[in-house]
């Protein structure tokens, strides 16, 4: 008898084998293909069949159609020369873990139906907690990404004490987005000045907190950043921890990008004080090489999460039974949640921590190599030096008006998308555009960096009219 929505074992194997072959071919040939190209919505909509299917089709043919439509219409954020934004290099082990978690349809929200996944997630969280220097009272959970990790942490801080939140101009936009979602108005947000290294100015923060207290207001949470998206800057975490402890203010560290550098000796003292935070956001789908989605929030005291998120419902009564039941719906906003922890658990087990450490240090070294190349000639001005695998720069045009330099900078970035060899985008420093390299892919080589800078120089010349240097 046919079972609705169920393939035969033979068809499942046929489809699964094809899927594995497609992913392996993608990873094996990625370096030899373009990073991506400019999206053309009209062309894509003309190619994609938008008719709602009424009857069945061969699953292998459907898979082949899907792959044909996807291959040419995505930018490969896992490409060794994707140097824009924060790249998303991932491992095949992580992809297989996602397939297994989906194939078994693991429900990782509550104890009765997901005790094994809960213990594996707790184990993985403990690994991350230990690496970040948080005490045994700490805990946390996996979420979709940095935006949700920041939101969970800030809500936990607010549940402890509702009041003012302190950020800088370099704080990630997800913080302000999360605050709006939580009902904060702009009047409760304080923008603290930064120093010449784009880090939060501790003295300015101290003055603002004192002023707010004098006005009868309640300071609640300071949001520090470990690895800003723009420049890789790390706020002075130790000094901020001292101030927050003295003022009894929650210290949240958005380490979605940079917290991974706790593995690296090359990061030196940049992350000193990370383990003194009340909460930390980090993204294993960034610099720990996991497929999307894999964000994580850690807290110093796990009871702060249960105080903020624990729920009771009549249909969940049995989930409270057993020996120390672990219900992740008590630690965050989701009841239904997938098994995100499996991918990092399998990857750490498969490759070992030393391999991750080497990969992180490789990215830091390549950014420093890029800086050496940029400073070697007279084509570029380095705006912010290499830090945590990020460097920013712009073309040097002696005597040119800033507007001309800015226009050329943006045209170079747009040119990389058309060219396809590497992708380099802009950000803004001091209100002006800069080119930005973020080099975190473990397979990116020094030659890739050299060839990418050569591409940027060629695009600069072309944008200037093709008559010699820009």
Q: List, for residues 312-365, the tens digit of each pLDDT value.
A: 888 788 888 877 789 999 999 999 999 999 999 999 999 999 999 999 999 999
Q: Which of 36-40, 76-80, 326-330 has the lowest mean pLDDT?
A: 36-40
Q: What is the pLDDT of residues 410-441, one digit of tens each?
A: 999 999 999 999 999 999 999 999 999 999 99
The pLDDT assigned to 470 comes to: 57
The pLDDT assigned to 51 comes to: 82
Residue 219 has pLDDT above 70, yes or no: yes
Q: What is the mean pLDDT of residues 82-89?
A: 93
Residue 180 has pLDDT above 50, yes or no: yes
Q: What is the mean pLDDT of residues 383-397?
A: 97
pLDDT band at residue 469 under the 50/70/90 scheme: low
pLDDT band at residue 454 under the 50/70/90 scheme: very high
The pLDDT assigned to 391 comes to: 98
Instruction: Please give the angle made by the CA atoms of 319, 324 and 329, to the nearest 5 degrees.
Output: 45
pLDDT band at residue 467 under the 50/70/90 scheme: very low
Residue 112 has pLDDT above 50, yes or no: yes
Residue 24 has pLDDT above 70, yes or no: yes
Q: What is the mean pLDDT of residues 255-274?
A: 92
Name the pairing type of β-strands 295-299 and 279-282. Answer: antiparallel
- Per the prediction, the chain carries an average pLDDT of 94
The pLDDT assigned to 108 comes to: 95
DSSP annotation string for 282-320: E-HHHHT---S--EEEEESSTHHHHHHH----GGGGGGG
Q: What is the pLDDT of residues 224-238, one digit of tens each?
A: 999 999 999 999 999
- Give percent above pLDDT 90 in the chain: 84
pLDDT band at residue 464 under the 50/70/90 scheme: confident
Q: What is the pLDDT of residues 55-72, one digit of tens each?
A: 899 999 999 989 988 888
First to last CA, the chain: 71
Sheet with 295-299, edge to edge strand ranges: 139-143, 295-299, 279-282, 250-254, 219-225, 164-168, 189-192
Distance in angstroms (rounded) separating the CA atoms of residues 247 and 205: 11
Residue 2 has pLDDT above 80, yes or no: no
The pLDDT assigned to 412 comes to: 97
Q: What is the pLDDT of residues 273-300, one digit of tens each?
A: 999 999 999 999 999 999 999 999 999 9
Looking at per-residue pLDDT, the higher value among 51 and 101 belongs to: 101
The pLDDT assigned to 468 comes to: 45
From residue 246, how far is each of 153, 190, 242, 446 by CA, in Å? 20, 19, 6, 46
């Amino acid at each position: 008898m046919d079972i609705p929505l169920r393939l035969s074992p033979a068809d499942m194997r046929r489809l699964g084998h094809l899927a594995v072959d497609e992913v392996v071919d993608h990873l094996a040939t990625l370096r030899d293909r373009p990073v991506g190209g400019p999206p053309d919505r009209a062309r894509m909509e003309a190619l994609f069949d938008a008719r709602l299917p009424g009857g069945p089709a061969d699953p292998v043919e459907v898979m082949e159609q899907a792959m044909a439509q996807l291959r040419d219409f995505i930018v490969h954020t896992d490409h060794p020369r994707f140097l824009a934004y924060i790249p998303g290099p991932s491992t095949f082990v992580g992809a297989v873990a996602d397939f297994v978690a989906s194939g078994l349809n693991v429900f990782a929200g509550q104890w009765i139906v997901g005790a094994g996944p809960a213990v594996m997630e707790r184990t993985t969280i403990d690994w991350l907690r230990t690496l970040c220097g948080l005490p045994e009272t700490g805990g946390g959970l996996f979420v979709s990404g940095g935006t949700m990790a920041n939101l969970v942490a800030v809500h936990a801080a607010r549940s402890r004490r509702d009041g003012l939140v302190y950020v800088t101009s370099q704080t990630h936009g997800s913080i302000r987005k999360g605050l709006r979602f939580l009902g904060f108005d702009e009047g409760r947000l304080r923008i603290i000045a930064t120093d010449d290294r784009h880090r939060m100015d501790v003295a300015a923060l101290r003055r603002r907190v004192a002023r707010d207290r004098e006005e009868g207001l309640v300071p609640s949470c300071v949001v520090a950043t470990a690895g800003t998206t723009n420049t890789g800057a790390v706020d002075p975490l130790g000094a901020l921890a001292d101030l927050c402890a003295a003022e009894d203010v929650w210290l949240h560290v958005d380490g979605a990008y940079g917290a991974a550098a706790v593995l690296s000796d090359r990061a030196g003292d940049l992350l000193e004080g990370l383990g003194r935070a009340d909460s930390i956001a980090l993204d294993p789908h960034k610099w720990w090489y996991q497929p999307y989605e894999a964000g994580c929030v850690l807290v110093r005291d796990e009871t702060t999460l249960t105080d903020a998120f624990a729920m009771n419902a009549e249909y969940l009564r049995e989930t409270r039974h057993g020996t120390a039941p672990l219900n992740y719906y008590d630690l965050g906003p989701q009841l239904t949640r997938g098994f995100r922890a499996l991918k990092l658990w399998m990857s750490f087990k498969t490759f070992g921590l030393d391999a991750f450490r080497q990969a992180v240090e490789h990215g830091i070294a390549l950014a420093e190599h890029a800086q050496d190349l940029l400073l070697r000639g007279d084509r570029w001005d380095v705006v912010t030096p290499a830090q945590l695998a990020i460097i920013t720069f712009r073309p040097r045009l002696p005597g040119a008006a800033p507007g001309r330099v800015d226009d050329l900078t943006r045209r170079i970035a747009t040119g990389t998308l058309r060219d396809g060899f590497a992708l380099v985008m802009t950000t803004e420093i001091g209100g002006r555009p800069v080119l930005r390299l973020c080099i975190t892919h473990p397979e990116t080589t020094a030659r890739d960096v050299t060839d990418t800078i050569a591409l940027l120089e060629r695009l600069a010349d072309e944008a200037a009219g093709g008559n010699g240097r820009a």
